[in-house]
A and B are shown apart, each in its own frame.
Chain A
Amino acid sequence: MWPERSSPPRVDGAGESAGERPGDVPEAESPPRGRGRERAPRVLAIQVPDLPLQRLRRSREAGRLSPAPLPEPTSARPGERRPIAVLDEGRVVCCEEAARAAGVRPGMTAAQALGALGRLEMVPLDASGDRAALCALAEALLALAPAVEVVPPDALLLDASAAHLLAGRGAGLEAGERELAARARSLVAEMGYRTRAAVATGRAPARALARHASGSIEWVPPAGAGQALAALPVDALGVGPAIAARLAELGVSDAGGLARLPEGTLAHRFGPEGVLAARLARGEDESPLAPFVPRTLPEEGAELEAPAEGVEPLLFVVKRLADRVAARLSGRGLGATRLKLVLKLDPRGEERIVVPLSLPTPAPGRWLVPLKEQLFSLRLPAAVLALRLTAVEVAPVAVEQLAFGDRPEAVAALETVLSRLAARLGDESVFAAEPIERYRPERAYRAVPFRSRPRRPQARVAVPEDAAHRPTRLLPKPQPVVAEGEGGRLTAIRVAGEDRAVLGYEGPERLAGEWWSEGFDRDYYRVRLEGLGECWIYRDGADGRLYLHGFFD
């Protein structure tokens, strides 16, 4: 099956060109040889064999409460996990090895499959789920290639044009492309999928080769696609069943045979689809990749293999989910600034945890500490059935991440402690201060996020001139005090019910705000009080009373 695409070539579009004469279709005209190959992109195709099955296993494995992988079922031992087959419209699409060993084959009807293996677990195909899984992989793979195309039902195409940069200088095309393929496969393996890979020129050849590749990476030099494809069956090229049957009548069963057929005959007998198929068989496909653009924020979930009573067993699962969300974010050059973990409870209800992170980071290790702390602080009213982790807020990861002396361990330590503090005490409780030009002393600074990157001395925030005359401690709430005097002379001030002799004072300094924004009028005095030290006291113009506002501590 070919993907839904707007660009040619398309070879299985039966009926799409019905009524048109073959010669009218521009694609049927043979392009000048050689030119097309120069323009065709180098493509790394990643195919996920039996994707529906792998996805199923992966989601069950993600819910494992221990690090061990899910055991492979054997048909021999009853009582074990039942082998799985995925069915679409009553027919087997794919099945596990144990089922295959018992005689189940793709294409069988449900009844035939059950006849072959009575304890077969049959799961309906979820095409949209499979597509979403492919998109999640594409998202992660964006970390490796400038463009990734999602080709349902089971393939991804990566633009390999810059792969030579991955290998060392002078290492050549092959080394770079193999390196790209190896990295892509290991990234997808981390996300929980087995793959096959091929690098070739052109989308269709790369994809066909990946589908038929063996375990290792299939690498085809720029001009060798036709030769590499020659031994593959014609249906590897995505040829529709009708054309394949007619080709078989002519004795053509492989791509090599198709490539050798004269083009005039092809156009006459098979229409434009036939011509395109032959062109693909020769390894000619100039169509560009249709890049995948992720639209939603990454979310990964898992159903637990058994209800979990406490928090401890969930940690494995949370780590797995965090790794996957992080891989997808890092493909987009994004880091999470806020995570949400939803725990589905037995039998209903859910618990939510929201973890703010100090800096956008795609490193899952930095998420785990605050996630764990929040998890441990939960009092779970019931067992947990499933988990879902979402990056609810993201931001681009700064290229210049390192701070203080390029010590990555110090940066990691800082990010971790900031995230812990923000998660436990709340975002608003953890901040850096920035002075602002305001007359009202308590508003002369504002809270800004604390950045790990220390500014250079010259980049320091300008300090307002009057700050030198301000107390080091400002009371959050000014405290009313009472002046006591003798013969018009101030002798003492009653603070918190206790008389304090005035040893001396300076002032007043008048601070008043614009009437339209912050109407206030205060006369401030620096008063030295016995037993307290130097205090900042003002007379409020509004009520004429005295207030203690701070200490020169």
Chain B
Amino acid sequence: MRSPEPDDRLRMLAELKEAIRRIERRPARRSGVVPTGLKEIDAALPGGGFPRGAISVLAGGQASGKTAVALSVLASLGEEELFAWVDGRGEMYPPAAAARGVDLGRLLIVRPGTAPAGPGVGAGELAGPVAVGDEPLAYGCLWAAEALLGSGAFAAIVLDVPIPRGKRGWDAIARRLQAAAERGGALAIWLAPSRASVRLPAAVRLELSTQEGRIVARRAAGGGALAGDRHVA
């Protein structure tokens, strides 16, 4: 018997994957990129947008335009797509998001710490071998981020999580987040201060700043190491 052509095999594999997905009732994985609609930003991005199923980093100062770019991404998603904002700093201002075209009805805001802390973080999640230290806020945020990214229910998730200095086990956390984003097919945007204490390996990393009221983007080195399927162990 002749073995199938490579193309046939790939198609067959894709069909099988899809069949398994349906049996497991997992949401369909999204792929491709989402443009921001901001010319300067899209020009700096490989493929003209932020990749789905991967983590992108927007780094910059406190008023560098990170939030505005992230909001533009959410505003340009399809009308049936939901998105979430893990707002660890509690600073995201929803009226401004709405003014920038984000449908607040589709935006889930997760603000750990606005309520009394729930029960301790359980086994199997970001606990255990990955010691996140004694920072319950970062802990809650990272847990929520992983849950949202892996759920497949949200097309995009913006992560604004203050990471305490000297956090250990960061690589493992980053890998888990990346794996969750791949699993759920979610576009993840990590908002990082320009002088972040930790550096997240990401598919795309943009350094943002403002010049005369315009956002200027510079694609930073280090991006691409974990881009989508081109996963480098």
Contacts and interface: CB of A to CB of B under 8 A. Distances in A.
A72 interface: no
B140 interface: yes
A451 B99 CA distance: 21
A546 to B, nearest CB: 17
Interface string A458-482: 0111011001101111111000000
Interface in B36-77: 60-68, 71
B126 to A, nearest CB: 11
B79 A457 contact: yes
A532 B67 CA distance: 14
A377 B119 contact: yes
B161 to A, nearest CB: 13
A445 B60 CA distance: 27
B120 A377 contact: yes
A184 to B, nearest CB: 27
A270 interface: no
Contacts of B107: 432-433
A49 B52 CA distance: 58
B202 to A, nearest CB: 19
A431 interface: yes
B180 to A, nearest CB: 11
Interface in B95-125: 95-100, 103-124
Interface residues of A, number: 67
B140 A374 contact: no
A542 interface: no
A459 B27 CA distance: 26
Given A413-B153, A414-B153, A425-B115, A454 B92 contact: no
A111 interface: no
A439 interface: no
Interface stretch (B11-19, B141-149, B222-230): B141-149
B121 A550 contact: no
B91 interface: yes
Interface in A417-471: 417-418, 420-421, 423-435, 441, 444-445, 447, 450-452, 454-457, 459-461, 463-464, 467-468, 470-471
Contact of A473 (B91, B113, B144, B213): B91
B143 A424 contact: yes
Please indicate which of the listed interface residues B68, B140, B151 has the most CB atoms of chain A within 10 Å of its own CB. Answer: B151
Given A430-B108, A460-B105, 8 more contacts: A379-B120, A413-B26, A417-B147, A418-B108, A429-B140, A459-B105, A461-B104, A553-B62
Interface in A521-553: 531-535, 550-553
Nearest to A374: B119
A163 B92 CA distance: 55
Interface in A501-526: none
B31 interface: no
A427 B115 contact: yes
Given A410-B153, A476-B91, A433 B104 contact: yes
Contacts of A377: 118-122
Contacts of A452: 82
A535 B63 contact: yes
A379 B120 CA distance: 9
B94 interface: yes
Given A467-B95, A532-B62, A407 B122 contact: no
B104 A435 contact: yes
B134 interface: no
Contacts of A441: 93, 95
Contacts of B67: 472-473, 551, 553
A390 B9 CA distance: 51
7 contacts: A421-B144, A424-B121, A426-B114, A430-B110, A435-B95, A441-B95, A470-B99
Contacts of B118: 377, 423-426
B165 interface: no
A472 B104 contact: no
B93 A454 contact: no
Nearest 4 pairs of A and B residues by beta carbon: A533-B63, A426-B115, A433-B94, A417-B151
Interface of B: 22, 25-28, 60-68, 71, 79-82, 89-100, 103-124, 140, 143-144, 147-148, 151-154, 209-210, 213
Nearest to B26: A409
Please indicate which of the listed interface residues B93, B143, B209 has the most CB atoms of chain A within 10 Å of its own CB. Answer: B93
Contacts of B210: 533-534
Contact of B82 (A378, A414, A475): A414
Contacts of B66: 553
Contacts of B63: 532-535, 551-553
A426 B116 contact: yes
Contact of B80 (A373, A404, A467): A404
Provide the main secondary structure of the chain A interface: mixed
Contacts of A404: 80-82
B105 A454 contact: yes
Please indicate which of the listed interface residues A417, A472, A553 has the most CB atoms of chain B within 10 Å of its own CB. Answer: A553
Given A376-B124, A532-B63, A429 B94 contact: no
A456 B80 CA distance: 9
A461 to B, nearest CB: 6
A34 to B, nearest CB: 54
Nearest to B66: A553
A450 B71 CA distance: 18
A553 B68 contact: yes
B108 A432 contact: yes
A417 B62 contact: no
Interface string A377-421: 111000000000000000000000000110111101110111011
Please indicate which of the listed interface residues B81, B92, B122, B210 has the most CB atoms of chain A within 10 Å of its own CB. Answer: B122
A212 to B, nearest CB: 44
B25 A412 contact: yes
Contacts of A532: 61-63
A432 B147 contact: no
A472 B93 contact: yes
Nearest to B106: A454
A405 B63 CA distance: 37
A450 B79 contact: no
Contacts of B90: 476
Contacts of A454: 79-80, 82, 103, 105-106
A489 to B, nearest CB: 22
B93 A464 contact: no
Interface string A66-108: 0000000000000000000000000000000000000000000
Nearest to B22: A409
B93 A432 contact: no
Contacts of B97: 433, 472
A463 B75 CA distance: 14
A426 B111 CA distance: 10
Contact of A450 (B22, B92, B103, B108): B108
Interface in A473-496: 473-476
A429 B108 contact: no
Nearest to B111: A429
B96 to A, nearest CB: 5
A420 B109 contact: no
B166 to A, nearest CB: 21
